[in-house]
Structure 1
Amino acid sequence: MIQTTFVPEFMQTTKISHIAHLVEICVQHGITQVVVSPGSRNAPLIIAFDAHPSIEIILIHDERSAAFFALGLAEASGKTVALTCTSGSAPLNYAPGIVEAYYRNIPLLILTADRPAELVDQGDGQTIRQKNLYANYIKAQYELPNQPKKEDVSSADNIVNKAILEASNFPKGPVHINIPLAEPLYETTTLETLPVFTSNENDNAIGLTDEEKLLIESGWLKSERKLILIGQLTSGSDLKDLLIATANDPSVAILVENTSNIQNFQKFCHSIDRALAIISPEDIPAFAPDLLISMGGAIVSKRIKAFFRMHKPKINWRVGIFNFEEDTYQSLKHSFKCSPNKFLRFVNGLETVPMSNFGNKWKQADLLSNEKHDDFISTAPFSDLTAIADVLETLPVNVNLHMSNSSVVRYCQLFNPLLGVNYYCNRGVSGIDGSTSTAVGFAHADKERLNVIISGDLSFMYDSNALWNNYLDKNIKIVVINNNGGGIFKIIDGPSKSDQRELFVAPIETNIQGICNTFNINYFKADSKEVLLDVIDSFYIEKNNRPSVLEIKTAEIPSDQILKQYFKGFS
């Protein structure tokens, strides 16, 4: 541990010294944003964070929205974001955002205020069992001592320091500190010096062992058909150039989804579902790889998952640093716990001779499916599919595009990625519960770019409290595809054929304009292609420094049938 002394210019802060220390340790580790939900038990934390000149306080009333907002901030900045709430049911509302962060390797520092241990299960208000609250979905969890004596404050400092390092070390992720606090909670004091203990040890140099290099060389050189599948990645990845070099070998196919934020129309297959749809049943085995290498996070396409589970590769490798091991295609042979960049640099350095035309076969399928896609879209009736086509076609340049779950992100994968557009979606858990809050948090961190959100009506209404804060700006534009219910359940076979179909689709009349009026949001609507194209320019125009919502009404249109016709056109 390295002892430092901080002189905060006689800062007025909480009288609870280990909480004042906690805030200073956060700042020394580069945490500058904290999402606060109001409460009483977390008053010392609020006072200390607000007193520090290096901290931006972001006040979000709804804890569920707050956690997703913090996730969006952390995703945009790449830095750990802190969030704090009061005790009782409040920290339970953090859970959906924490789970998403865990499965996406996004660093959050969760600070939950709590009653002292002797008051738990004793009938005290807002008191539950908060220790180990997020046990299954957290990188690490700690509890600070209650009212530590002066000589014991350093032990609390050490816990905070360790927790922050755990959140930011690879694999990144959420870390929980539960903080019992006894009254009085609001007392302050003027500090002249604030001694703290910090350590910046952070060894992320994870590479390939000699044994792994031999394994890669052997598997790569003996595999005639190699396929690299790229899942969700953060925008700005420098992986693209390495993949292009790898794709120069015609025996290598590279499949990417829009959420990978990697684009090259000459080398990569960008729409997996389209390409699979155009391959005839008798030709399917010829498209199955001997060697499958997966990189990045979640894959949206259910079709490719089913394909690899049916046609298992001889060798299946996963590359990356993750919080847990997964075998998505039920054939995993080895996980290389290093960055994809390091892996590809080694592969690209191997002396190889092309062994097949496998990569070109996949690219030809991709190109042919793209032609059929364009033909269908140009003549298809107005529906969810064509409405999204029109929105994508009219997107301004340099946009962050946020896609909600479930049908919206799947529709968007049918279109080639747009140059200059960064694609984002909560695909860690793939829930609909925080899509807008995440995007709004992201937009707050990235004010230089326009942030466009495409959402379904249920997802938008479910997360309408994303608009209940003081951090909305003109750089947020929300498109709501209102098909009166869960459109995904009209598309997938099980619920669409069930006698209880209405219970899955769950149609409900929603007053989206009323929501906009409540939160002073600009509102536009369209119920046809002509009206959509007529209003969309106005929708993007900056107006009164407030966000805008465009509701596209498709409730009376059989969008599910049109999508099925779309896929029939590939056969």
Structure 2
Amino acid sequence: MVNKKTDEIAHANLFCGAYFAQVLSNLGLKTIYFSPGSRSTPLIIGIERYSNIQLIPVLDERSAGFIALGQSKQQNEPVGLICTSGSALTHWFPAITEASHAGTPLLLFSADRPPELQNCGAGQTIYQENIFGSFVRQFHQLDVPQSCEAFKKNITTALHTAFLEATGLNPGPVHLNFPFREPFLPASTISIDKEFNDPSLPSREISYPDSTIDISGQISSTTRPLIIAGQDVSKNDIEPWLDNPPIPILCDSLSSTRQSDSNNTILRYENLLRDPQFVENCKPDLIITLGPLPTSKTLRNWIQGLSALRIVIEPRGINVDPIQSESKYFQIGFNQLEQINVPPPEQGWTENWTEGEREVQTKLDRAFEEELPAFEGKLAYLLSLHLPNDANLFIANSMPIRDLEWFWKKSTSSRRLFGNRGVNGIDGTLGTALGMAQETSVPNFLLTGELAFLHDSNALLFANQFKGNLTVFVVNNDGGGIFENLPIAKEPEFEKCFATPQSFELSSLCKAFHVDYSLLSSWSQIIEKLIKPRDRGIEVIEIRTNRKQDRLTRNKLLALTPWKDA
């Protein structure tokens, strides 16, 4: 005989899972990644049985988090995550911090023990309420499921609110915690009403608190304007400032403004701002920063020393200005930039920047035409020349993102550049790139160092579930090359405590995961991989370099100025 209370619990759990799935389907959620566990059974069965949402298993929660992050970055829409109770959801934390700082929407659904099993030593139980603190835009604690209209209304409200918060002016992750009692499913098959009367989301108009008129008034008397286009600014957003009037635009390494051959887009600012003569002659009286600043410490130090009027525009309404000098902050959309009246620059102002850009680029081209055997920075340059026009490229932090900033050559294309620049860590590099490439038809590439690759090598377990293509260039310089640029590199503890070289065979690692591997030593072989990309699966290409020699070569190339050869 079935215990009535037990039967009611099981029915309520299935009802919760089914309604959960139906509401999310109605909201338009397309994909959920999950890691296996018992407590999340009602949510998993609900999605699998009662929705068309794609439910994809990933063994460990950490990899699942970064894969979901990468797909959300690529699609610019929420992706879901489901996990069981206990320590499971803590493994999402690195991906959540990146999503929070980068403004990437994620919907986090964790299962939990019911209230009577909290704080009493029950297995696989931790305090999960609001565990991610300020890193999520919102937290919702759901009630234990019940088969009643009140519960139905509560779950609808929670999911609607979560979706709106995740995709709002300041998009990011939202966490919903679901407590479940056992049994998780009925012992026998029952029917669930598939008639679904979920009210539509309320219409939402994007409204920004600040006015472009105010900005125009603040800058009306300036004559030496400079624009810094952050990573989230698109070519379309900045189109009005490309030619009329032409204003120098410094382009972040990930901004699509780099994918333009407009004369006044400036990519060689690292070289220009290292040159005292150029710095003396090219002091702006206005800097308009659009979103977060590029990584360049040279650029940031230069801005710090200026007395120019600084305008910071950030649609998300958060502080993205690390410069410790006065600035004026405005929250407007980048699609409103055309409404700002920037005064025409004084004669010769833009030309100083564009001629400097042209001179430095010519010298860099000449240097890269030489063989520069095994210099890792040349890979970023070759990517800019030979990457397919419609490709996606994910760039790891540390040296790859800096090489991209320093050596990528501008051209007109539809390429999309991605990176984890929210908190700038190396963790989750491979997983995020796999998410970026998941279910895309265009060529996909990852440029990473070997430490970032090894740090996330567990993501290779996703290879069997992966639907897409990804070519991974692993620059193996036997340690952390970025630390070679710091004073600590001269200390005797450097190799052990900072460079941390790893003794490993990348070929053996790839073989264990049944992933294609090759070791390339010539630039012609690398170019061949770029112009003839694979159409499915993962290939890892190892390129071995010398990090100490690479540091010397970089310094030589970055010393090129309009008036001086290295």
TM-score when normalising by structure 1 = 0.89
Q: Which residue of 1 aligns with 2:545?
A: 554
Q: Which residue of 2 aligns with 1:442?
A: 436
Tell me the SS of whatever aligns to 1:189.
Answer: coil
Counterpart Cα distance in 1 of 2:365 and 2:273: 16
Task: Give the letter for the 1:558 counterpart.
Answer: Q
Counterpart Cα distance in 1 of 2:160 and 2:383: 46
Q: Which residue of 2 aligns with 1:406?
A: 398
Go from structure 1 to structure 2 and tell me whether the alpha carbon gap of 1:418 and 1:400 turns closer, same or farther (over 3 Å shift): farther
Q: How many corresponding residue pairs?
A: 543
Deviations 1:518-560 (A, max 9, x none): 121111102x33xx42365268756694321110011476211
Q: Which residue of 2 aligns with 1:454?
A: 447
Tell me the SS of whatever aligns to 1:152.
Answer: helix
Counterpart Cα distance in 2 of 1:13 and 1:517: 46
Q: Which residue of 2 aligns with 1:506?
A: 500
Aligned residue runs from structure 1 range 270-309, under 5 A = 270-277=267-274, 279=275, 281-297=276-292, 299-309=294-304
RMSD, aligned α-carbons: 2.5
C-alpha contact 1:298 1:427 (8 A) present in aligned 2: no
Structure 1 residue 233 corresponds to structure 2 residue 226:
no
Aligned with residue 382 of structure 1, among 351, 374, 377 = 374
Deviations 1:378-403 (A, max 9, x none): 33343212344345444333211111
C-alpha contact 2:515 2:540 (8 A) present in aligned 1: yes
Aligned residue runs from structure 1 range 34-113, under 5 A = 34-113=32-111
Deviations 1:324-375 (A, max 9, x none): 2232222353322221221x22124x7x454453222222221121122122
Shift of 1:47: 0.6
Q: Which residue of 1 aligns with 2:150?
A: 152
Aligned with residue 488 of structure 2, among 485, 490, 495 = 495
Q: Which residue of 1 aligns with 2:6?
A: none
Go from structure 1 to structure 2 and tell me whether the alpha carbon gap of 1:146 and 1:237 turns closer, same or farther (over 3 Å shift): farther
C-alpha contact 2:223 2:285 (8 A) present in aligned 1: yes
Deviations 1:261-302 (A, max 9, x none): 11233121023313323x3x2542443322221113452222
Of all paired residues, the percent bearing the same amino acid is: 27
Aligned residue runs from structure 1 range 80-479, under 5 A = 80-148=78-146, 150-153=148-151, 154-187=153-186, 189-195=190-196, 197-207=198-208, 209=210, 212-233=211-232, 238-245=236-243, 248-250=244-246, 252-262=247-257, 263-277=260-274, 279=275, 281-297=276-292, 299-313=294-308, 315-322=309-316, 324-342=318-336, 344-348=337-341, 352-379=343-370, 380-414=372-406, 415-420=408-413, 421-445=415-439, 447-469=440-462, 470-473=464-467, 475-479=469-473
Q: Tell me whether 60-69 or 283-292 shows the greater mean CA deviation.
A: 283-292
Go from structure 1 to structure 2 and tell me whether the alpha carbon gap of 1:463 and 1:73 turns closer, same or farther (over 3 Å shift): same
Go from structure 1 to structure 2 and tell me whether the alpha carbon gap of 1:205 and 1:386 turns closer, same or farther (over 3 Å shift): closer
Counterpart Cα distance in 1 of 2:36 and 2:402: 37
Q: Which residue of 2 aligns with 1:5?
A: none
Counterpart Cα distance in 1 of 2:182 and 2:426: 39
Q: Tell me whether 469-478 or 23-32 shows the greater mean CA deviation.
A: 469-478
Counterpart Cα distance in 1 of 2:535 and 2:445: 17
Shift of 1:163: 1.1
Q: Which residue of 2 aligns with 1:518?
A: 512
Deviations 1:1-39 (A, max 9, x none): xxxxxxxxxxx9984323322221111111111111111
Q: Which residue of 2 aligns with 1:482?
A: 476
Shift of 1:197: 4.2
Shift of 1:406: 0.9
Counterpart Cα distance in 1 of 2:349 and 2:488: 37
Tell me the SS of whatever aligns to 2:174.
Answer: strand
Go from structure 1 to structure 2 and tell me whether the alpha carbon gap of 1:166 and 1:338 turns closer, same or farther (over 3 Å shift): same
Q: Which residue of 2 aligns with 1:7?
A: none
Go from structure 1 to structure 2 and tell me whether the alpha carbon gap of 1:204 and 1:255 turns closer, same or farther (over 3 Å shift): farther
Tell me the SS of whatever aligns to 1:558.
Answer: helix
Go from structure 1 to structure 2 and tell me whether the alpha carbon gap of 1:545 and 1:387 turns closer, same or farther (over 3 Å shift): closer
**Runs of 4+ more than 6 Å apart:** none
Q: Tell me whether 105-114 or 359-368 shows the greater mean CA deviation.
A: 359-368
Shift of 1:410: 0.5
Q: Tell me whether 532-541 or 455-464 shows the greater mean CA deviation.
A: 532-541
Shift of 1:307: 1.2
* 5+ long unaligned stretches in structure 1: 1-11
Counterpart Cα distance in 2 of 1:181 and 1:323: 37
C-alpha contact 2:80 2:108 (8 A) present in aligned 1: yes
C-alpha contact 1:13 1:20 (8 A) present in aligned 2: no
Q: Which residue of 2 aligns with 1:3?
A: none
C-alpha contact 1:14 1:48 (8 A) present in aligned 2: no
Q: Which residue of 1 aligns with 2:7?
A: none
Tell me the SS of whatever aligns to 2:66.
Answer: helix
Deviations 1:135-174 (A, max 9, x none): 1211111110123462431123212221111111222111
Counterpart Cα distance in 1 of 2:98 and 2:195: 35
Task: Give the letter for the 2:14 counterpart.
Answer: I
Deviations 1:166-209 (A, max 9, x none): 11122211111111111112336321245554441242422465
Q: Tell me whether 289-298 or 473-482 shows the greater mean CA deviation.
A: 289-298
Tell me the SS of whatever aligns to 2:329.
Answer: strand
* 5+ long unaligned stretches in structure 2: 1-9
Go from structure 1 to structure 2 and tell me whether the alpha carbon gap of 1:369 and 1:81 turns closer, same or farther (over 3 Å shift): same
Go from structure 1 to structure 2 and tell me whether the alpha carbon gap of 1:87 and 1:417 turns closer, same or farther (over 3 Å shift): farther
Shift of 1:99: 1.1
Q: Tell me whether 168-177 or 492-501 shows the greater mean CA deviation.
A: 492-501
Counterpart Cα distance in 2 of 1:115 and 1:208: 42
Counterpart Cα distance in 1 of 2:69 and 2:292: 16
C-alpha contact 2:23 2:159 (8 A) present in aligned 1: yes
Counterpart Cα distance in 2 of 1:341 and 1:359: 24
Go from structure 1 to structure 2 and tell me whether the alpha carbon gap of 1:353 and 1:556 turns closer, same or farther (over 3 Å shift): closer
Tell me the SS of whatever aligns to 1:559.
Answer: helix
Shift of 1:40: 0.9
Counterpart Cα distance in 1 of 2:286 and 2:526: 49
Task: Give the letter for the 2:204 counterpart.
Answer: D
Counterpart Cα distance in 1 of 2:232 and 2:124: 39
C-alpha contact 1:477 1:540 (8 A) present in aligned 2: no
Go from structure 1 to structure 2 and tell me whether the alpha carbon gap of 1:275 and 1:384 turns closer, same or farther (over 3 Å shift): same
C-alpha contact 1:41 1:181 (8 A) present in aligned 2: yes
Counterpart Cα distance in 1 of 2:163 and 2:307: 40
Deviations 1:480-505 (A, max 9, x none): 00001111111x22332344321111
